[in-house]
Structure 1
Amino acid sequence: MTTSFPGGATLAEAQAFLDRYPDVQAIDIILTDCHGIGRGKTIRRHELESLFASGRGLPASMFAQDVAGDDVEGTGLVLEDGGGDLRCWPLAGTLGFLPATGRGLVLISMFNPDGSGFAAEPRHALLRQVKRAEALGFAPMGALEVEFYLVDRERDGNGRMQPARYPLTGRRSGNTNTMSVDELDEMSPFFDAVYEGAAALDLPLEALISEYACGQYELTIRYRDLMRAADDVILAKRLLRSTARRFGMEACFMAKPFGQMAGSGMHLHLSLADEGGANLFADPAEGALSPLMLQAIGGVRGTIGETMAVLAPFQNSWRRFASVNYSPGNDAWGVENRTVALRVPSGSGKARHFEHRVAGVDANPYLVAAVTLGGALDGIGAGADPGPATLGNAYENAPAHSLPRDWLGAIERLEGSDFARRVLGEPLHRGFVAIKKAEYMRMALEVSEAEWALYGFSV
């Protein structure tokens, strides 16, 4: 008899992995924190079956850490329980081999002693919204696109970070090279290794393009059930980082690593299917959009302002909106319009969905998916009207709505949001807000070199 455990994985998965990879001696076990950062351990081969059969204890205070890994007291998760461990279990379908490291890896999730999900973990917030959708007869489907930069380990003559050299030729280009196939060819040894790793991880990476800046790329991931789509982003970022290091460069997932160049987004494509897999957002007739999808868009529009601290979670995230090239800092919607927040792509009416374009690639995919799905379900429940579609350039003529204008304003809006508290749950909402406040103060006290250069001896 096959026995599954709280994460849905079975002991047979571990045994099949060990049989398939007899030379693998270590496995990274990865718990995703509030920032989307992987925390955990590297275990030895002989420990893998025990992990699947009995779980592994890790401190719940990992969800109380800021992005630097320092505890934040205001989360209520540091020593309130005495600092004890909770049990983490492998997630079904995420155990795989990463050729770049020569190790296995598996995603894990934290559970309470009664088998319920630990409320401060972001993945469980998304799982609650998925279950909410399923109770209404909806199967959430989605995919997240990942934009990122490849940067050199060596800084330029001014001490600044710079795009990586191409591994095929050793050249470094200073051109934007948007959608250049030659650029992809020069970077092909790296991306060949990425696709090899994706195959070993059963990660469905699809199209690759050179994006709107020198050294910037985008990978799309196959559309599938929303929980696995969010897991896919965690695996993809781990794969890209690990592989880039072996090529003498770094994969950078800051939202705006270079001030004068394009920012990096994480666009979420979302639809709802019925229990048989049919797309409920499909066009009901030629030239007509689904009322259900429009209600979902209306619900998400109504919550963007309250969730900007989730979509843009760091100080650097807000630099992405300073230059509006394909980075919509609005809550407008439209059809085949890349200047709006919520875009309905053209294409087959049977595959209709909408794309949420606001989140940066630095955001936690579980939280982005949770607040988007939660807003969509609220909109459907309320029969929300999304208003008229925006035509033309939404940067110039989008409806004026009250969105936060900066990071602190976004944190304060999230703190006061009943919607966010309900969707995230009280422990995660409280902890996330406390962490963001602590990070804000940390950055507010940091005097940059740019400030010294501009003000130091002038004012």
Structure 2
Amino acid sequence: MNRQPTPSALPPEDLQALHGMDGHAAAHVDLLLPDCNGVLRGKRVAFEALEKVYAAGVCLPMSLIAADIRGNTVEETGLGYDIGDEDRICRPIPGSLRPVPWSPRPALQLMLQMEDGAGGWFEAHPRRVLQRVLDRYAALGLTPVVAVELEFYLFDRLPGADGRPQPTLNASDGRRNDSTQVYSIDDLDENAAFIDGVARACRAQRIPADTAVAEYAPGQFEINLKHRADALAACDDAVLLKRVIKAVAQQQGMLASFMAKPLAGQAGSGLHLHVSLLDRDGRNLFAGEPGAGAPAPLRHAIGGLQASARDNLLLFAPHANSYRRFVANAFVPLNDSWGYNNRTVAMRIPHSDPANTRIEHRISGADANPYLVAAAVLAGMLDGIEQQLDPGPPVSGNAYEQFPMQTPHWRGAIDDFLGSAFAGRWYGESFRHVYGQQKRREMLDFHAEVSDLDYAWYLRTV
């Protein structure tokens, strides 16, 4: 007979979630550990094991944190054969027990974080990397307020005749959507079943999603999350929202993709991070009087984002495909400019009342890990504030025409990150090594493949 975990084993908020779910005693539990790529890895256990997980944790290989995008151990990180592929204890994140509403049978999910074997948290765990940066803010009595925006594509679950992803069929007339209708309400109506399914799952999982819009390409959408004065929780929301979107799409016969550039000639998908900064009294340090210019903390924060952009590019653009997104005239930053109410810049100050003044960081692709994006943005901001860096004047008009176009490359971003004193200082030497080596191995394996384009260009012509 299934046994219900006792109140002594579960935090009160998780016990409340458990009691609010019908049939929980027959559920399985997905134990979720986000890796450096933002992929959720872990175990599925029976409900009876849940109390033990809370009491003693669960063992998972240390190498999981830095598995490559295909799930392989990256030996260059030093986490594989060199240490005997050791396990580490992973413990539940209190308050993260949620139902899995799309599952055909009762199911729960629980987020984990990994220990280091010496009584602390593993320094290369992305959640810990963000916490390390947040500790610097807390020591100064400052609180970042963070919101995440995620863009993605909905595709037919089956590829087209050319093997490439194809748009879904419109429910009303059976045709495939091939036009760009940005902010189209009709497109939202056509996909109402999907959007409603995501909304229901978000409510069940207490994910604060509040806005859905049709974006700048056929089948592209954006779902926004409400801001939080807890950056870790805001990134938890983003990771779990991606799981919801993928699961609901699959349930409805579609494929949801967060690739940065799934289609040539169409808009890429971004992860935009909105950040404001509160002092001990809850005042927004970025707020200013209309017409008075940007307050010093806002200017210095932007200056820090500019100065650290090269060091952090690998966190914003982690994959080979990430760099295909950086093309002109596609609302993707190709420089380190900033400005007010201007979507051609990298650091945008959205239109708002003074109390809600914030930075919208627009460099990252939707394929990036939200914890690492937040860590990089917040580290850059605080570094700029501490050094009182000057960002220069804000840009008015088209930033693409006013600055030289930068064309970043994956290899250069990897080299910059591995050699970055900024990354070692803010994220720790352990993470810099593990993440940099993970990405270097992915790059080498990617370029070792012979693609269809190789055959199309060279097989008969050289």
**Other-structure match for 1:245:** 250
- 8 Å CA contact 1:312–1:363 kept in 2: the answer is yes
Residue 53 (structure 2) pairs with residue 51 (structure 1): yes
Identity %: 40
Aligned-pair distance for 1:26? 1.1
The one of 411, 424, 431 aligned to 1:408: 411
Which aligned pairs between 1:430-449 and structure 2 lie closer than 5 A? 430-449=433-452
**Other-structure match for 1:348:** 353
Aligned AA for 1:388?
P
2: CA distance between counterparts of 1:277 and 1:112? 34
Aligned AA for 1:126?
L
Aligned AA for 1:34?
C
Aligned-pair distance for 1:205? 0.2
Aligned-pair distance for 1:441? 0.9
Secondary structure of residue in 2 paired with 1:231: helix
Secondary structure of residue in 1 paired with 2:454: helix
**Other-structure match for 1:281:** 286
2: CA distance between counterparts of 1:61 and 1:189? 39
Secondary structure of residue in 2 paired with 1:86: strand
Query: Residue by residue, what CA displacement relative to the aligned partner does 1:277-326 show, whole Å, maximum 9, x if unpaired?
Result: 32121115554322101101101110101111111111100000134401
The one of 418, 421, 425 aligned to 1:422: 425
Secondary structure of residue in 2 paired with 1:267: strand
Secondary structure of residue in 1 paired with 2:113: strand
- 8 Å CA contact 1:152–1:162 kept in 2: the answer is yes
Structure 1 pair 168–123 and aligned structure 2 pair: CA distance change class (3 A): farther
Q: Which deviates the most, 74-83 or 33-42? A: 74-83
Secondary structure of residue in 2 paired with 1:190: helix
- 8 Å CA contact 1:337–1:392 kept in 2: the answer is yes
**Other-structure match for 1:183:** 187
Aligned-pair distance for 1:439? 0.9
Query: Residue by residue, what CA displacement relative to the aligned partner does 1:249-282 show, whole Å, maximum 9, x if unpaired?
Result: 1110100000111000000111111233321211
**Other-structure match for 1:159:** 163
Query: Residue by residue, what CA displacement relative to the aligned partner does 1:105-132 show, whole Å, maximum 9, x if unpaired?
Result: 1211112344421011111010011111
TM-score calculated relative to the size of structure 1: 0.94
**Other-structure match for 1:130:** 134
**Other-structure match for 2:455:** 452
**Other-structure match for 1:61:** 63
Unmatched tracts of structure 1, length 5 or more: none
Residue 98 (structure 2) pairs with residue 96 (structure 1): yes
The one of 272, 275, 283 aligned to 1:270: 275
2: CA distance between counterparts of 1:27 and 1:169? 40
Aligned-pair distance for 1:16? 2.5
The one of 253, 260, 265 aligned to 1:255: 260
1: CA distance between counterparts of 2:186 and 2:438? 43
The one of 14, 34, 37 aligned to 1:35: 37
Query: Residue by residue, what CA displacement relative to the aligned partner does 1:314-370 show, whole Å, maximum 9, x if unpaired?
Result: 110000013440111211111111111111111111100101100000001111111
1: CA distance between counterparts of 2:370 and 2:77? 21
- 8 Å CA contact 2:14–2:95 kept in 1: the answer is no
2: CA distance between counterparts of 1:167 and 1:227? 38
Q: Which deviates the most, 387-396 or 219-228? A: 387-396
The one of 306, 311, 314 aligned to 2:311: 306
Structure 1 pair 167–435 and aligned structure 2 pair: CA distance change class (3 A): farther
Unmatched tracts of structure 2, length 5 or more: 1-5
- 8 Å CA contact 1:297–1:376 kept in 2: the answer is yes
2: CA distance between counterparts of 1:10 and 1:295? 43
**Other-structure match for 2:343:** 338
2: CA distance between counterparts of 1:218 and 1:355? 15
Structure 1 pair 36–339 and aligned structure 2 pair: CA distance change class (3 A): same
Which aligned pairs between 1:176-255 and structure 2 lie closer than 5 A? 176-224=180-228, 225-255=230-260
Q: Which deviates the most, 135-144 or 78-87? A: 78-87
1: CA distance between counterparts of 2:21 and 2:118? 34
Structure 1 pair 49–11 and aligned structure 2 pair: CA distance change class (3 A): farther
Aligned-pair distance for 1:443? 1.3
**Other-structure match for 1:384:** 389
Aligned-pair distance for 1:196? 0.4
2: CA distance between counterparts of 1:280 and 1:174? 44
Secondary structure of residue in 1 paired with 2:147: strand
1: CA distance between counterparts of 2:91 and 2:289? 42
- 8 Å CA contact 2:157–2:250 kept in 1: the answer is no
Aligned AA for 1:397?
Q
1: CA distance between counterparts of 2:326 and 2:70? 24
2: CA distance between counterparts of 1:162 and 1:307? 33
2: CA distance between counterparts of 1:58 and 1:99? 26
Q: Which deviates the most, 160-169 or 86-95? A: 160-169
* Structural RMSD (CA): 2.0
Structure 1 pair 50–284 and aligned structure 2 pair: CA distance change class (3 A): farther
Aligned AA for 2:349?
V
- 8 Å CA contact 1:14–1:48 kept in 2: the answer is no
Query: Residue by residue, what CA displacement relative to the aligned partner does 1:136-194 show, whole Å, maximum 9, x if unpaired?
Result: 11011111100000111122233321122245765421111111101101100111111
